[in-house]
Amino acid sequence: MADTAENSASTSSGRYHMDTELVFIEGDAVKDNYNAASVPIYQTATFKQTNADGSGGEYDYSRSGNPTRTAVETHIAKVMKAHRAFVVSTGMTALDVILRLVKTGQEIIAGDDLYGGTNRLLTYVSQFSGIKVHNVDTTDVSKVEARLDPVKTRLVLLESPTNPLIKVADMRTIAARVHEVCPSALVVVDNTMMSPYLQNTLELGADIEYHSGTKYLSGHHDLMAGVIGCREARVAEQVYFVINASGSGLGPFDCWLLLRGIKTLGIRMEKQQGNAIRIADFLEAQGFKVHYPGLRSNPQYELHKGMSSGPGAVLSFETGDVALSERIVESARLWGISVSFGCVNSIISMPCKMSHASIPAEVRKQRRLPEDLIRLCVGIEHHEDLIGDLTNALTKAGVSVKPFSSS
């Protein structure tokens, strides 16, 4: 019953700047007799009906739809400029839902620099579902084109920037070429690293944009969630069918937490990004190889700038020595050693030992993923404290730190 026109999480035309849209909840997003300032949490599994045949209510069972979920989906659809948006239990659940649109015998083209969990799930479907997965360097459009098959290609899965090497794909060109050669294929983008605040991939030509809501959308690492935004009604209907059938929709309380987090996305991202730019400059000044599209020395600086409104707050750098990287990571104090990103507090990790450890070592070597790579997920702390803590960690690890002004 939740799949009605009144309940559809469809976007309205944007009227305000993004910072305002993030905070402003449309009046028709949820029906509340008491006009609560905060969207109510409808913590219920079922809804009473008025007729013996089970009809008469907008909702009947929270697996199919819930007013709190409708509120956050409507809001996210507006922010993402999607026809319709959905929220599910985790970011990986979002990808799992999308992959169910691919049938046995069809093919997926994906990047060769992917989040470890994405690689794990793609490996699973290739082994057990009869789906061929091609991993290519998506920064080279010709390599994507070489794998396109008008009949077999069903999904082209992109990350831009990629995780953890922060490489940039020309999403606009790839999407146009895929739709030209493979009309039935879907272009899907994991936009978690940028968030809808900095990058709108549906406007760049993607059919589906998805996020781990655990990251920037939530912002506090107190929530697990996934978000799916669809550009067209036809695809949205297919996605909703899978979510309803599998029961993967996000619970009411988590929907409320996600909605609360989205309201502060703008101010968090601006602060985190500003810190990241200074930290990238600091690390580059020390002579490290830094992967970050906000550096003018990055060969993809202009490409990224043409698709996004900012470089984001995740960067990585190479030290040239695994043991040195380990000492740096373990010597940090403000930077917590943890997986994930997008939280208000800063995080440091070695992807090959943590978030991407599930990718076999030989595969990491083939894909040129450096074992010494350190990933920084920058938070909202004062940039001088973060740089100071990195300076101390580098010094303790045996690095001679060069003077740097972060002003």
pLDDT in tens, 3-53: 433 344 444 445 899 999 999 998 777 788 898 999 999 999 999 998 888
| pLDDT, tens digit (0-9, with 9 covering 90-100), for 120-161 | 999 999 999 999 999 999 999 999 999 999 999 999 999 999
Divide the 407 residues of the chain into consecutive groups of 10 and give the mean pLDDT of each group: 41 75 86 89 94 86 96 97 98 98 98 93 96 98 98 98 96 98 98 98 98 97 97 98 98 98 98 98 98 98 98 98 97 95 96 85 87 97 98 98 87
For residue 8, the model assigns a pLDDT of 41
Quote the distance between the C-alpha of residue 337 and its chain's center: 20
Measure the CA angle with vertex 273, ends 25 and 402; round to 5°. Answer: 165
Q: Are strands 107-111 and 84-88 parallel, antiparallel or unpaired?
A: unpaired
Active site residue 113: no
Instruction: Evaluate the omega torsion of the peptide bond into residue 370 and state whether it is cis, within 30 degrees of 0.
Output: no
User: So what's the pLDDT on residue 11?
Assistant: 46
Residue 38 vs residues 71, 111, 245, 298: alpha-carbon distances, Å: 11, 40, 30, 43
C-alpha closest to that of 171 among 190, 152, 154: 190
263 in active site: no
Out of 69, 78, 113, 115, pick the active-site residue: 115
DSSP 46: B
**Amino acid, single-letter form, for residue 24:** F
**Annotated active-site residue in 190, 207, 281, 389:** 190
pLDDT of residue 12: 46
Q: pLDDT at position 249, please?
A: 98
Q: Do 215 and 221 touch, CB atoms closer than 8 A? A: no
Identified catalytic residue from 32, 60, 63, 132: 63
Cα 289 from Cα 336, distance rounded (Å): 22
- Cβ count within 10 A of residue 348: 22
Q: How many CB atoms lie within 10 A of CB 269?
A: 26
115 included as an active-site residue: yes
Q: Which is catalytic among the residues 81, 167, 177, 215?
A: 215
Q: How many CA atoms lie within 13 A of 148 on its CB side?
A: 22
Quote the CA–CA distance of 194 and 201 in Å, as a whole number. Answer: 10
pTM for the whole structure: 0.94
